[in-house]
Amino acid sequence: MLRILLVFSLLISTCFFSQNKLNLIPYPQNLKINKGASVIPEKILVREAKNDSLQFEVKIFNTFLKTDATHFLVSNHGVPKYSFVELEKVNSSEIKDDGYFLEINDKKILIKYSSKKGKFYAFQTLIQLINQFSDKKEIPNLKINDSPKFAWRGMHLDVCRHFFTVEEVKQYIDYLAIYKLNTFHWHLTDDQGWRIEIKKYPKLTQIGSKRKESMIGAYVDDTYDGKPYGPYFYTQEQIKEVVKYAQDRHITVVPEIEMPGHALAALSAYPQLACTKGPFEVATKWGVFDDVFCPKDETFTFLENVLDEVIALFPSQYIHIGGDECPKTRWKECAHCQELIKKHNLKDEHGLQSYFIQRIEKYVNLKGRKIIGWDEILEGGLAPNAAVMSWTGIKGGIEAAKTNHFAVMTPGAYCYFDHYQGDPQTEPNAFGGFTPLDKVYSYNPIPAELNAEQSKFILGVQANLWTEYILDFKQVQYMIFPRLFALSEVGWGTSNPEKYKEFENRVVQHFKILDKMNINYAKSIYNISGKVIPNNTGVSYELSTSQNPNGIKYTIDGSEPKSNSATYQNAIPVSKAMTIKSAYFENGELKSAISSQNFTTSKTTGKKIILEHQPSENYSFGGAFTLVDAIIGNVKQLGKTWLGFQGKDVVATIDLGEKTNFSEVYFNTLDNKGSWIHLAKSATVSISNDGKNFKTIKETGKEDILSTKGKIILKVGNQNAQFIKIKIENAGIIPAGNPGADSKAWLFVDEIGAQ
């Protein structure tokens, strides 16, 4: 037996005796706390079988001990009376490849495993236990049988919009390892930067790794910082270093090389690969651009050569080839592309995209690898062996699984960590959307539409971090924590939305670990959360906090809440225009950000509303009620207060409850063509007294809508009716010359009112 002596002072609290749950994330599949506790001596022996000598998994454990102020390593003398940590390798028939058995009793800690992966996860659990019980020399006797539900438990990092150093990427990988995630999706190429050295094509990094400036401010602000960015890229030696670092921690690095869209950085270096002559420059703006790879032999030769070098660097089974947001504008205008469509009897440009992806797939398959791409690779027909990463919702994953293709579920509504995680007014600038901790935790990667056999094709779950508005690594930390905790437990398969509060309590305990590691994390769960609910006369504003609710103080006159302000007890009625501000106080001291919410009431406030078409899952927070909740959406923040519809009209019917007088109907909308958001084409207002037979009382065209600045007011004369129906027509297919041309336009709407 190989003996490695680890000596440390384990200070373990006795509080576990009264706890039903240990503060473990992800929580184990099976955990039993037995009677009694084990007194831990200062000198600890880790013993491992001869045929599986000291491995990296144990070294990681030792590193943890050395970096903790209360733990230290000594030489192999002064062996204690018994081995405290004993490792036993067993057959995979007894314990799954990525599973482990952990037992703590009066004599030792026993870890059983069938692979190094399982051993590593066992030590991560043990480290968390040590962190939890750091007050007294006792540890609960327990048994854990554990293994993950999903094979793919991933986090993505975009290094193209903003770059992060090798050391920062390693830290990111550490976070995944601690919480038992096993896949790092490295987004290495995009319009805004090419970040991987390709020796055959040096211009990719000489030209494509830098841009003249960067877009700043909220997504609707078309302003720039005027500062050159880059050159920033990873050398092939650095790539190898990161891949090895991840492998040691049982994490697979999946590289992403975008194609056929998001290619401006590559085209700026090699313009001959486009459908037009260019010249091109690395994008300084966020969004989607018309210039993409042209599907000609020269392009495929280039991409195959790039993939040769990528495959040599990354041993992952899957190579991510992007495939998302590829406008077809240039292909429609390109004689070569049109000839290719005819030659191969393709239906249209979507068929051409499928041809492109399938050709790349054949090459990657010849190299012994598989491709995975965003769900737009389904357009025109999915390549035979391709896997799908379902981001626009769950539809792509369902379609893939039903046709026996593997899928990774990463829907924006639950898994986009560039969205706001708290009240947008108290959070740093983010891309949009609203994805708080509890929403991530509520996600089930297995769609209800799949049967048991189809569900086997769901590989797992992944969260994505796009970095348009993430300028440094501290902000990376802020955006992933604590949401990574929820993702970890969802991927492990032990999340239970009905017990969210219990999970939240564990999260708060893990904040102590993050503090110890000097990690910058969001404290949004400490802030006051506000929810608008209907009442008999309109709406009320319900406040909550993860802390003692008696600590909530609020005002309704717009003044800043103080420790002697009104204490929140019941939902606050909103019957007129007002501003409610709230905050959490503890012992007279402000402990949270101050939340502020403006209300603008109308005759539709709080009334029953039905939508004919539902909003996109990514922008559906609050559902139809969002349109009558008396909150006007902030034009710079898509999170929480807007409903977004891609390619769909808004058709809303509002029941005022009784015949009501009104002379105008209004709604709020957005205009930001860079993000594919277009003003409505038209709007129509109809009225009814029975909810069945409607009479049109107002129609307005696009010119009238264009003359406004977001708030569309429709003068309808003096009316008296119980039901109001408003149809707000989507702009439809985005016309040529606009970002996202040939794609479905987005229509964002908020607050439909009547006066």
Residues known to be catalytic: 190, 262, 325
Helix or strand (DSSP H, E) at 292: none
Strands 458-463 and 407-409: parallel
CB count within 10 Å of CB 138 equals: 19
In this structure, what token pair is assigned to residue 658?
Answer: 């009784």
- What is the rounded distance in angstroms from the CA atom of residue 622 to the CA atom of residue 636? 19
Cα separations in angstroms, 563 against 351, 425, 492, 568, 682: 64, 21, 42, 12, 50
Cα-trace Rg, the chain: 28
Distance CA 714, CA 685 (A): 8
Name residues whose C-beta falls within 8 Å of residue 250's C-beta, 6 or more positions apart in sequence.
116, 117, 120, 121, 177, 182
Strands 138-146 and 711-729: unpaired
Give the separation between CA 363 and CA 351, rounded to whole angstroms: 19
Q: Is 674 exposed, middle or buried (0-12, 13-18, 19+ CB in 10 A)?
A: middle
Helix ranges, 249-292 (H):
264-269
Q: Which stretches within 146-233 are classed as H helix?
A: 166-178, 203-206
Ordered DSSP codes for 669-722: E--BGGGTB---SEEEEEEESSSSS-EEEEEE-HHHHHTSSSEEEEEEEEEEEE
Neighbours of 467 (CB within 10 A): 23
Q: Are 464 and 391 in contact (CB under 8 A)?
A: yes
Q: Smallest Cα–Cα separation from 738: which of 289, 332, 291, 263?
A: 289
- Best CA proximity match to 116, nearest among 176, 56, 47, 182: 56
Burial 73-86 (b: 16+ CB within 10 A, else e): eeeeeeeeeebbbb
CB 222 within 8 A of CB 231: no
Residues in the chain: 755
Given a contact cutoff of 8 angstroms between Cβ atoms, the answer to whether 548 and 568 are in contact is no
Distance CA 524, CA 408 (A): 28
Q: How far apart are CA 265 and CA 277, in angstroms?
A: 15
Q: Which residue has the tokens 């491709």?
A: 371
The position carrying tokens 């009905």 is: 498
Give me the residue label for tokens 């094979």: 151
Nearest-CA neighbor of 209 among 269, 249, 286, 135?
269
Structure tokens at 700: 């307005």
Q: Which two tokens stand for residue 631?
A: 């909150």
Whether the bond into 26 is cis, omega within 30 of 0: yes
Nearest in space to 270 (alpha carbons), one of 358, 222, 207? 207
Q: SS3 for 164?
A: coil
Residue with tokens 């831990």: 40
Query: For residues 463 and 154, is the Cβ–Cβ distance under 8 A?
Result: yes
Whether the Cβ atoms of residue 273 and residue 305 lie closer than 8 Å to each other: no
Burial 372-407 (b: 16+ CB within 10 A, else e): bbbbbbbbbbbbeebbbbbbbbbebbbbbbeeebbb
The single residue listed with the structure tokens 């009442």 is: 535
